[in-house]
Amino acid sequence: MHKWWARRLGSVFRTILLYSLAGESLDGWDGRPSSLWEFFRRDVNLDGKIVLDPMMGGGTTVIEALKLGCKVIAGDINPVSWFLVKKQVDDINPELLIQTLQKLDDDLGSELRQYYQTICPECGKTAEAIYYFYYKVSSCTKCAKEIPLMRNFFLAKNPAGTGDIAICPTCWNIFESKNAKKMTKCTKCDEIFIPAKTSFSKGRSYKCSDTDCGQSEKIVEFAKEFGKFEERMYAIEFYCKHCDDSENKKLMNGRGYKAPDERDIEILANASREYKVIAQDLPIPDILIPSGVETKRALNHGYKKFRDMFGPRQLLNLGKIYRWILEIEDWNLKEFFVLAFSNSLKYNNMFAKYNATRGFITDIFRTHSFSPSISPVEANCYDTTKGRGAFTAFVNLIVEGKEYCRNPFERFLDGKSMRKIQLGPKNPSKLVENYNNLVRTGDIILRCGSSEQLEIPDGVVDVVVTDPPYYGNVMYSELSNFFYVWLRLALKERYEIFNDSLVPTDDEVIENRYQGKGRDEFIQGLTKVFTESKRVLSNDGILVFTFHHKKQEAWDAIFRTILDSGFYVTTTYPVRSEMKTSTHLHDLENIVYDMIFVCRKRNEETGPKSWKSIKKSIKRSITRTITQLQDNGEAPSSADMFVIVLGKCLELYSKHYPMVMDGDRVVDPKSVIESIEELLSSI
């Protein structure tokens, strides 16, 4: 229902909850972990067991726990997290969403669609523009020649499957090439070139295309001196219903590419002029982009305010849609439309790119960062028959989400086909403000603020399940400001947590040099949260969390946190962190596995244990784990092996902490982390 970064798999957290709370309340469980899969096909009720997630992020724990009949206490420091989880829990009649979307279309549909019309070059009739392609324009500081910052001139695979779509670097003609990797001749000006290899920019620099000049420029240095690059439209992907309905096979499914004509250029110019006239009347944030680990890329490319990330046609039409939404009188209904609008922003900005081989737009957060696009793509922001990014599609996603909340289901593989099992209708979850109401009549408490102090009695929580920040892997506050500055316009008068101009960071648990937070600050913050979690956790309850990172210092920090907050690790499990299709896992050097840590309270002192014998146990345990993974078709990389070894070290060492001995010497946590390479080399 809304973007959140590094959102974990629901199936993993459902399994964590089932295994953590399995017992008499789970009728039919025989004690074997493998038999828990049967409960994915059932409507399970865990009889109001209390689950705490002190750092809920995108709300995976919350939703899975509510589906299982648990009572939930959850919170996050980030207002964006709080709002999107609240709307995931809130109930609304899906039909009301559909009716309101229709009213929006009646009021604004024709006005908005006029900005996304083009002429089909095949039949000459009006077609829908799906995506507009732009290049950034620079100039040579030596000869003043204008230079398009194009990485290559391969636009896309032909949807009809007959070749590639190429752009001529001389006349900007859009035409079909047999193979963009081979020599191609422009059908208009006879220019001969290789589309996939012809380039005016490479890496962080570009070179003057005038062979007599050849001046080289740094992209960032130019932007710092002269400001944000101008963006110029050079191609359009369109959908023609007339061709789709006819037997014209030149356009597969009615989709095609064209160079913009005079009408297309005029429509864009009209949108720019209109925006300048009415900009002050539109609800568009005017907030400066703060300095940060991730925002520095945007700042280096000349973007000063969040609104600078959008083109004029985007700001005009997004502003009109948002203005209409803010007039909705029913607050619950308004909030759902605000959520859909916010989610649509990830595609409707000039940081979006195009996947040329697969033919679709990728959003601003294709990685957990702000990465300015040299060749940005503008989507049709309102409504399209084909393509991604339209606001109407995000309202329909919420409709699907609310239908799911009322009638949840699970999918599972039955032989070679996927089956869907209904779990039975669910009553809406009741949000309450305090623990007493939760026990009596409620289902969930949602908090926005630090979880270092919770208004919950001692020992009442059955299990703590969370996904804490991965040290400095994801800069949540920096990234979520992209949505926050828009959400704030709608929500600040109703919720105090949206009063600040940006997401608050004082209590954020993170490693971030721009916030002045390093290893010590991360340990201190997370230890306070885990210590408070220990206070409210029952004596026989468990803390379960997931973690991964490439750096030893991050593992040292999480290790210290576990020990300093009074827990020890009873077991660890490697499990896939994100879907196999995740863009964050395409780099083979990225870590595929999260390590699940299962922790219990340390209530008594342990006797001394030899570090030598612990290392032997670690090796045996890792060998078993790798065999299990390989039996299930997995092939852990060297980075994953690092995570698995670390997890097992933390597990077996923590059980005997602080009495792990190497002769007469006490082995401290830092020494354990430093021994990882030795253990890896011996496996």
pLDDT in tens, 457-516: 999 999 999 999 989 889 999 999 999 999 999 999 999 999 999 999 999 999 999 999
Which has the minimum average pLDDT: 323-337, 428-442, 532-546, 573-587?
A: 573-587
User: Hunting for tokens 């230079």 — which residue is that?
Assistant: 147
Going by C-alpha positions, the residue among 574, 562, 580 that lies closest to residue 639 is 574
CA-based nearest residue to 532, from 557, 509, 513: 509
In a domain, 672, yes or no: no
Q: Tokens 């210290």 label which residue?
A: 560
Contacts of 67 (CB under 8 A, 6+ apart): 14, 44, 408, 423, 426
HEC-encoded secondary structure of 489-549: HHHCCCCHHHCCCCCCCCCCCCCEHHHCECHHHHHHHHHHHHHHHHHHEEEEEEEEEEECC
Global pTM reads 0.92
85 in any annotated domain: no
**Cα-only R_g, the chain:** 28
Split into its structural domains, the chain has a count of 1
What are the start-end ranges of the E strands in 110-253?
A: 117-119, 126-139, 146-148, 154-157, 164-167, 174-177, 184-185, 192-193, 201-202, 205-207, 216-218, 230-239
Q: Which residue has the tokens 């001139």?
A: 153
pLDDT computed for residue 577 by the predictor: 63
583 pLDDT higher than 60: no
634 found inside a domain: no
406 — pLDDT class (breaks 50, 70, 90): very high
Using alpha carbons, list the distances in angstroms from residue 333 to 275, 395, 429.
Answer: 28, 11, 17
560 pLDDT higher than 50: yes
Q: What's the DSSP call for residue 305? A: B
Residues 376 and 134 sit within 8 Å (Cβ to Cβ): yes
Coil, strand, or helix at residue 327?
coil
Inside any domain, residue 276: yes
Q: Left (φ > 0), alpha (ψ -120 to 50) or beta: where does 59 sit?
A: left
In 3-state terms, the chain is what percent helix, strand and coil (to 5)?
A: 40, 20, 40
Instruction: Render pLDDT for 295-351 as a digit per residue (tens, 0 to 9).
Output: 999 999 999 999 999 999 999 999 999 999 999 999 999 999 999 999 999 999 999
The amino acid occupying position 240 is C
Residue 353 lies inside a defined structural domain of this protein: yes
Inside any domain, residue 642: no
592: Cα separation from own chain's centroid: 16
Q: Which one-letter DSSP state was computed for residue 288?
A: B
Q: What is the pLDDT of residues 24-65, one digit of tens each?
A: 667 778 877 777 778 877 888 888 899 999 999 999 999 999
Distance CA 338, CA 346 (A): 14
The neighbouring-strand residues paired with 633 are none
Spatial separation of the C-alpha atoms in residues 170 and 166, rounded to whole Å:
12
Boundaries of domain holding 131 = 116-151+199-322+333-393
DSSP for 183-217? -EE-TTT--EE-TTT--SEETTEEE-S-TTT--EE
Would you give the DSSP letter of residue 363?
-
Sign of CA dihedral 142, 147, 153, 155: positive
